[in-house]
């Protein structure tokens, strides 16, 4: 991870951000897709010549967030984990080039204090920062004895190395490569050691969110094996004739990969089985394709989730607004609406734009357009004869499989919309168009809930079933505004949606409790009859 000195320069020269100054340009919203013009894509390198493990990882999240993160300037903050980690990397990189007896806490402290003086003029801030850096760094001495590490090199890098089997050009820096034995040709067998200054990831977290750090190590292992397989060819020799790449011709295979969690003082060995490496490499290739399609089309789709709270676009993102997302109190305050003047495209412009990677026509609709503008589409005059197949197939004979989960979902919603109107207005003739409007509204609430929990929508999924279950409970407790105005109906819809999302969060919260907390009956005792509002 190069660049700590560059961070110092940037920190020393950066000017305070003007709260009236726009921080973004060359982008617009088309529905909930962020459209980026070709000049901005080029200016901010949204199309990468070489692909890194971290950009690959970003392709799994919200593409609009990633694009915005590249465009919106991000000031250096040495007290931010991201930037502090760079200083720690730099200090350790230097320390592990020293003889074993000099890899001490004192050497670390000397590097730390040098950076503190470079960054800050006053002693109090220097001391405060030094203390902070210690909290993320000193755990190194708990997880290993640095003097015992047989260092091969620090900060080796590959720059655009086409990976075997997929040809994707990898860029990556190996924090530290240590020697773990010697092979039959006398080449050093390697361990790839990567520092992580963040929190420990337990098995459950890894299973839930994926092992992106592990993927990074596996990609580096695949890069080393690409080198080993190709280094005897003339083409490889010519391409890597630079003396700084001499190491490529001297190394043996990788036998270990480990993450060194320097804040918590623990290490984690990475699964380097061929199956795990193949999966990582395959995913990396798919993400490279995704990145290219995004740059080709200039359309970066949104995906709501917990990270919205940390997203710079959260104040202006239509998808976040629909899903009820807002900035996390634990995050750096995001730019304001004035700083992010992102226009909305006119319909005729948006209609001619390309489709983004993950978008379906269903996703392109606004999630909660519960206004009278929604025109009913024509009902086919001829009856459709649907076939009944297995529930896990949405289609049968190229049409809706009436036995599918999706059919169960949409029939259930229309059923519920009809019952709701019937029970709420027993003496009124309910029109087909009114049932349709309420069904659409309920469907949009379900999709908002689904997007909230998975980032996408699909009538076939268990997520859809779960959200519908919660919706039906909320509906039972939230009377429709009998005789109410359009605004009353909108307020009702907003309330239902918020309560559904609040119940989704409650459900996930319950799963998060590895140990169930003590039940506080005192919280239940004062309950009196009142309108249902768990989101309040
Ligand atoms: S607020 Fe959420 S959905 Fe919107 S761009 Fe950011 S991460 Fe994506």
Residue 228 lies in a domain: yes
Q: How far is the CA of 52 from the centre of ligand 1 (A)?
A: 22
Residue 354: pLDDT above 60? no
pLDDT digits (tens, 9 = 90+) for 299-349: 999 999 989 999 999 999 999 999 999 999 888 889 999 999 999 984 433
- What whole-number percentage of the chain has pLDDT above 70? 91
Q: For the whole model, what pTM was predicted?
A: 0.66
At 214, list the tokens: 């592990």
Instruction: Note whether 242 and 275 are same-domain residues.
Output: yes
Mutate to test the pocket of ligand 1, among 303, 323, 356 (most ligand atoms within 8 A of CB): 303
Asked which of 143, 174, 195 is the last residue of a domain, the reply is 143
Instruction: Note whether 128 and 153 are same-domain residues.
Output: no
Q: How far apart are CA 143 and CA 436, in angstroms?
A: 62
Q: How far is the CA of 337 from the centre of ligand 1 (A)?
A: 14
Residue 534 has a pLDDT of 66
Q: How far is the CA of 451 from the centre of ligand 1 (A)?
A: 11
Residue 466: pLDDT above 50? yes
How many angstroms separate the most distant Cα atoms in the chain? Answer: 91
Which residue's CA lies nearest to atom 7 of ligand 1?
A: 308
Instruction: Note whether 169 and 252 are same-domain residues.
Output: yes
Chain centre distance of CA 391? 31
Q: How far is the CA of 272 from the centre of ligand 1 (A)?
A: 33
Residue 111 has a pLDDT of 97
Residue 533 has a pLDDT of 66
Q: How far apart are CA 198 and CA 82, in angstroms?
A: 9
Residue 350: pLDDT above 50? no
Residue 517 lies in a domain: no
Decide if 223 contacts 158 (C-beta within 8 A). yes
Residue 503 lies in a domain: yes
Decide if 18 contacts 25 (C-beta within 8 A). no
Contacts 24+ apart (CB under 8 A), 510-513: none
Decide if 446 contacts 467 (C-beta within 8 A). yes
Residue 398: pLDDT above 80? no
Instruction: Note whether 164 and 230 are same-domain residues.
Output: yes
Instruction: Note whether 136 and 200 are same-domain residues.
Output: no
At 238, list the tokens: 């010519």
Q: How many domains does the chain have?
A: 3
| Bridge pairing between strands 299-301 and 266-269 | unpaired
Asked which of 124, 143, 162 is the last residue of a domain, the reply is 143
Residue 365: pLDDT above 50? no
Instruction: Note whether 419 and 478 are same-domain residues.
Output: yes
Instruction: Note whether 160 and 70 are same-domain residues.
Output: no
Residue 370: pLDDT above 90? no
Asked which of 283, 303, 327 is the last residue of a domain, the reply is 283
Answer yes or no: is the C-beta of 36 below 6 A from any ligand 1 atom: no
Answer yes or no: is the C-beta of 319 below 6 A from any ligand 1 atom: yes
Residue 208 has a pLDDT of 82
User: What is the extent of the structural domain holding 167?
Assistant: 146-283
> Across all residues in the chain, what is the average pLDDT?
88
């Amino acid at each position: 991870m190069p660049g700590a000195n560059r961070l110092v320069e940037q920190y020393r020269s950066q000017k305070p951000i003007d709260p009236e100054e726009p921080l973004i340009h060359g982008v617009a919203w088309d529905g909930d897709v962020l459209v980026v013009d070709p000049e901005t894509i080029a200016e901010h390198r949204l199309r990468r010549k070489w692909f890194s493990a971290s950009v690959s990882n970003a392709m799994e999240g919200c593409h609009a967030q990633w694009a915005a993160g590249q465009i919106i300037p991000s000031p250096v903050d040495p007290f931010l984990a991201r930037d502090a980690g760079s200083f720690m990397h730099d200090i350790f990189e230097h320390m592990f080039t020293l003889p074993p007896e000099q890899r001490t806490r004192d050497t670390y402290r000397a590097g730390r204090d040098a950076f503190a003086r470079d960054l800050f003029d006053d002693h109090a801030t220097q001391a405060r920062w030094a203390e902070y850096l210690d909290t993320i760094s000193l755990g190194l001495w708990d997880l290993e004895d640095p003097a015992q590490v047989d260092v091969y090199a620090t900060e080796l890098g590959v720059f655009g190395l086409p990976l075997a089997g997929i040809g994707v050009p990898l860029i990556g820096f190996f924090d530290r490569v240590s020697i773990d034995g010697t092979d039959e040709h006398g080449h050093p067998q390697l361990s790839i050691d990567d520092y992580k200054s963040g929190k420990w990831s337990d098995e459950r977290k890894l299973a839930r969110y994926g092992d992106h750090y592990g993927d990074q190590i596996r990609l580096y292992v695949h890069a080393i094996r690409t080198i080993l397989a190709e280094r005897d060819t003339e083409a490889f020799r010519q391409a890597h004739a630079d003396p700084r790449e001499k190491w490529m011709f001297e190394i043996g295979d990788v036998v270990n990969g480990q993450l060194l969690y320097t804040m918590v003082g623990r290490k984690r060995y990475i699964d380097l089985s061929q199956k795990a490496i193949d999966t990582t490499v395959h995913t990396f290739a798919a993400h490279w394709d995704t990145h290219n399609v995004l740059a080709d089309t200039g359309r970066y789709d949104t995906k709501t989730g917990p990270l919205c709270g940390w997203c710079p676009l959260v104040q202006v993102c239509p998808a976040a607004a629909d899903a009820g997302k807002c900035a996390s109190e634990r995050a750096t305050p995001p730019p304001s609406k004035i700083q992010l003047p992102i226009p909305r495209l006119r319909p005729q412009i948006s209609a001619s734009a390309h489709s983004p990677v993950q978008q379906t026509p269903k996703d392109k609709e606004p999630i909660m357009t519960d206004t009278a503008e929604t025109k009913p589409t024509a009902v086919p005059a001829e009856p459709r004869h649907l076939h009944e197949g297995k529930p896990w197939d949405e289609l049968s004979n190229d049409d809706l499989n009436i036995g599918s989960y999706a059919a169960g979902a949409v029939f259930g919603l229309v059923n519920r919309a009809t019952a709701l109107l019937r029970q709420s207005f027993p003496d009124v003739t309910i029109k087909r168009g009114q049932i349709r409007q309420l069904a659409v509204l309920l469907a949009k609430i379900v999709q908002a809930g689904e997007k909230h929990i998975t980032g996408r929508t699909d009538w076939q999924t268990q997520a859809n079933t779960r959200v519908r279950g919660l919706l039906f409970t909320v509906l039972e407790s939230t009377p429709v505004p009998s005789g109410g105005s359009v605004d009353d109906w909108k307020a009702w819809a907003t309330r239902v949606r918020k309560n559904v999302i609040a119940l989704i969060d409650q459900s996930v919260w319950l799963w998060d409790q590895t140990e169930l907390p003590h039940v506080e009956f005192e919280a239940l005792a004062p309950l009196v009859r009142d309108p249902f509002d768990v989101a309040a």
